[in-house]
Amino acid sequence: MTPSLFSIILFTLLLLHVQPSYASIIPPYAPEEPETLDLPIPFYEPVLVPLNITDEAPPTTTAKAVIVLDANSATMLLEQNAATPFPPASTTKIMTALVALDRCKTDDIVTVSALDLNDENAQMGLVLGEHITVENLLYGLLLNSGNDAALNLAEHCGPGKETFIVAMNEKAKKLGLTATSFQNTTGLDATGHVMSVRDLAHLTAAALKNPLIEKIVGTIETTVRNREETRVHALKNRNQLLGRISGVIGGKTGLTEQAGECLVVAIERDGHRLIVVVFGSSDRFGDAESLIEWGFKNHRWEKENPTPSATTTLPELPEGTLENPHR
């Protein structure tokens, strides 16, 4: 064996002796235990739907359009002319309140302007130049139905009446109100200022998800003051069912020459919330009360889907008996 070959063999043996064992460096593969998170198992309460359990006919009302809606399941228990647009009068102010809350903070200070303060329907009693919060204006808007409150909310939160009305109609589209068009913030009669009772029921259900609105419409009476503490505004809710009928949460009244008596009211009993709307009534509180009692007496809430008979549809009014809502 030549010295060079011997050197090569010796060098190779030395390398094999000192080369580390990779098996001793890399541990054998062992799958990791999956990471577990201590999370609660989600539980979804099934939506209960109302089932008509009797053959009792719904009450006769004086209204041109009515609806009884189960707010939790969006099921209609009763409808008559529910999709027909009518003048909504001051029930409009529910949308005014929602848009004001979209565009302003409740503690914003509004400087009362001269905007239609001489209107005979300006019921809050605002005085030119006084400073008052948006929240206090909302109380005047929804309790006393103050047009002066509506106009000053629009002027401040729009900013400006025109911008505010555009926002009201945009909000209506977002909420899926298909038979609604607003021309003002107050609900005074105007060509093209209309809503259907179905739209108003859905609007009210959405509005009552706002805790402040639910608190305000459930207030029977209160007083609010301006920032300077120089003027007190005594306010009283015009909803006569509040505090008199079991479970009434609140709502909104409306009355104009074209609209007649209008009312939307929300009622909750045993966790079930109904929304009743009457348009064009001559006895809005009596009509609403009879519809409320019929709704709860004749329906049971269950988990399965309601049968087709769960919704009672009254016949449409004969041709020519409806006043033109666009008049």
- Say how far apart CA 260 and CA 173 lie, in whole Å: 26
Give residue limits of the domains in the chain. 51-313
Whether the Cβ atoms of residue 224 and residue 132 lie closer than 8 Å to each other: yes
pLDDT of residue 325: 35
pTM: 0.80
- Say how far apart CA 93 and CA 145 lie, in whole Å: 8
pLDDT of residue 55: 85
- Say how far apart CA 92 and CA 327 lie, in whole Å: 17
303 catalytically annotated: no
113 catalytically annotated: no
Of the residues 145, 171, 196, 281, which is catalytic?
A: 145
- Say how far apart CA 98 and CA 302 lie, in whole Å: 32
Of the residues 93, 171, 252, 281, which is catalytic?
A: 93
| DSSP H or E run through 92 | none
Tens digit of pLDDT at every position of the chain (327 positions): 555 565 655 555 555 554 544 444 445 545 555 454 454 544 456 689 999 999 899 999 999 999 999 999 999 999 999 999 999 999 999 999 999 999 999 999 999 996 776 666 678 999 999 999 999 999 999 999 999 999 999 999 999 999 999 999 999 999 999 999 999 999 999 999 999 999 999 999 999 999 999 999 999 999 999 999 999 999 999 999 999 999 999 999 999 999 999 999 999 999 999 999 999 999 999 999 999 999 999 999 998 654 444 556 666 654 444 333 333
- Say how far apart CA 18 and CA 143 lie, in whole Å: 93
Of the residues 7, 24, 64, 90, which is catalytic?
A: 90
- Say how far apart CA 101 and CA 106 lie, in whole Å: 7
pLDDT of residue 36: 47
Count of H-run helices and E-run strands, the chain: 9, 12
Strands 272-281 and 65-70, how do they pair? antiparallel
> Domain 51-313 is in which class?
alpha beta
Bond from prior residue into 31 cis (ω within 30 degrees of 0)? no
Q: How many CB atoms lie within 10 A of CB 119?
A: 14
- Say how far apart CA 134 and CA 66 lie, in whole Å: 32
- Say how far apart CA 75 and CA 49 lie, in whole Å: 7
196 catalytically annotated: no
Whether the Cβ atoms of residue 63 and residue 281 lie closer than 8 Å to each other: yes
